[in-house]
Structure 1
Amino acid sequence: MKKIILIASCAIALLARENPFVPDDINVTTLDSTNVSENAPKLDRVIAKFPSDARELVSATFSYKSIDGSIKQKIVDINASFDWHDDIIISSQSPVTTQATPALDVSVTTTDEQTKQAVAKQAAPKPLSVPPKIEPPLKSVSFMDFIKFDIFNSKIEIISSDEMIRNFIINKPDKIVMDFSRSSDFTTKTIKIDKGPLKKATIGAHKGYYRVVLFLDGNYHYAIRQSGNGYTLTLR
């Protein structure tokens, strides 16, 4: 019995591997390991749209995944007004480094004449500022011979000699109603515009006045003031 046990022990010792944790075929199984998880696609740009009642960006909250896999938040204060028509774009870029412009050194490398020219150039008066260009309207619409609308991005010039009696705003859909004093009779007309904040305008005659209804593309605050040729309607 002792001989049998001795023979079996020798056979096991001959068949056993030196390191049981190494694979049988190291050419087939890789030993590489990593704790790096698969990343989401690289950020290019994200475009955000806002509803028509948005006027100011207070802050932006980013939810991000940290290196340990937990979800955290980063809040960025903004506190800035913006046009809700615009796209808000989130993109990634490398930090921009700026280099200071070297100062002009005339003490050694320039002649006296060059020095005088450089000093004279620096002391020369700045040219007068160019007057701002007059912004042309996006579209102009006239109705008969007594009222005209010049449409801009954030205002509408109402050119008319008729007195405005009243004005008010109605929501859903968003529209501004204005009544002008005039005794006239004409068929109600709707004019498609689709420029700036104005989608269309409807004009109809009533007893002693006519009504203008301006259909807007969103929710606005408005203000109306008299101007040289009539009234200026400002939207914000």
Structure 2
Amino acid sequence: MIKVLIIFTLLFLTLNARENPFFPLEGEKDIVLTTNEDTSKAPLKKVSISVPNQARILQKVTIEYKNLDGSIDRKSISLDNSIDWHLPIFISQDSLQTENKTKNEAEKKSKVEPVINKKPEIKIAKPIKTQAVCNDNVILEYLSILVSGKTLKLSTKHEAIRNFLLADPHRIVIDFNSDAEVKNYVRKDIDSIFKEIRVGNHDKFYRVVVELDGHYKYRFRKISEGYLIELK
């Protein structure tokens, strides 16, 4: 009887029972815990995000996502690319499918429709006219303003005595030395980043105010015809 008790005691001491059998053993880290939360969401197709008008370089993109167990993680990709803040930035998982669908439709169409030889169409390119912003004859006598992209050309024989930048709204101010009286002029709704241009007469100088559609750095330099403003 004593031998039986000793054997039973030794067997009891060698048992390695866990306090909670519903959790994995220590070291079993490859078992992913799941949650009963409903993860059935609409599939991602395409979303866009706009950046403020001061943005110029995209440094990093970070996405935040939810795992099967309900935990939240983040993943980032480092970038160093210039951007145009006028255009949105897109996030999409549907572009490859759309591309393949378009390719398949094009292949089907080419098989069904016969190829008809057509005479080549000759298109005559129209000359691009560069029109001065200021149309008033009095102003054109002293100043001509030409807009091209991010560049604004001020053609004048008068000397610029100062130039500076003002905020809210962002606008560039240039003063030109002149004893002659210049007629006031305002040009609005310009289809460019130069939203409005104003010319006003002052004592012994006239002022040109160029209102911008956002935040920019600018370079002001002398050229043979006058002055050039380049936005960055």
TM interval, shorter chain, is 0.5 to 0.7
Amino acid of the structure 2 residue aligned with 1:47: S
Larger Rg: 1
Equivalence for 1:70: 71
Equivalence for 2:211: 215
Shift in Å, 1:136: 6.8
Amino acid of the structure 1 residue aligned with 2:81: A
Equivalence for 2:160: 164
Equivalence for 2:132: 140
Q: 1:135 to 1:170 in 2, by over 3 A?
A: farther
Equivalence for 2:60: 59
Name the CA distance, whole Å, in 2 between partners of 1:67 and 1:48: 27
The runs of 5 or more residues in structure 1 that have no matched partner are 1-34, 97-133
Amino acid of the structure 1 residue aligned with 2:201: A
Amino acid of the structure 1 residue aligned with 2:179: S
Shift in Å, 1:220: 0.8
Moved more, 218-227 or 156-165: 156-165
Name the CA distance, whole Å, in 2 between partners of 1:204 and 1:50: 34
1:90 maps onto 2:94 in alignment: no
Name the CA distance, whole Å, in 1 between partners of 2:132 and 2:70: 57
Equivalence for 1:43: 44
8 Å contact kept, 1:151–1:195: no
Q: 1:135 to 1:53 in 2, by over 3 A?
A: farther
The runs of 5 or more residues in structure 2 that have no matched partner are 1-35, 100-126
Shift in Å, 1:85: 1.2
Q: 1:202 to 1:136 in 2, by over 3 A?
A: same
Q: 1:94 to 1:67 in 2, by over 3 A?
A: farther
Q: Deviations over 1:76-120 (max 9, x none)?
A: 111212121122111124499xxxxxxxxxxxxxxxxxxxxxxxx
Aligned positions, number: 165
Q: 1:215 to 1:235 in 2, by over 3 A?
A: same
1:81 maps onto 2:79 in alignment: no
8 Å contact kept, 2:50–2:89: yes
1:189 maps onto 2:189 in alignment: no
Name the CA distance, whole Å, in 2 between partners of 1:81 and 1:136: 30
Corresponding residue SS for 2:133: strand
Please, what TM-score do these two structures have when normalized by structure 2? 0.64
RMSD: 2.6
Amino acid of the structure 2 residue aligned with 1:231: Y
Amino acid of the structure 1 residue aligned with 2:90: I
Shift in Å, 1:36: 9.0
Q: Deviations over 1:105-163 (max 9, x none)?
A: xxxxxxxxxxxxxxxxxxxxxxxxxxxxx9876x6302522212222221112222221
Q: 1:36 to 1:52 in 2, by over 3 A?
A: closer
Q: Deviations over 1:37-88 (max 9, x none)?
A: 4422111111111111111111011011123222110111112121211221
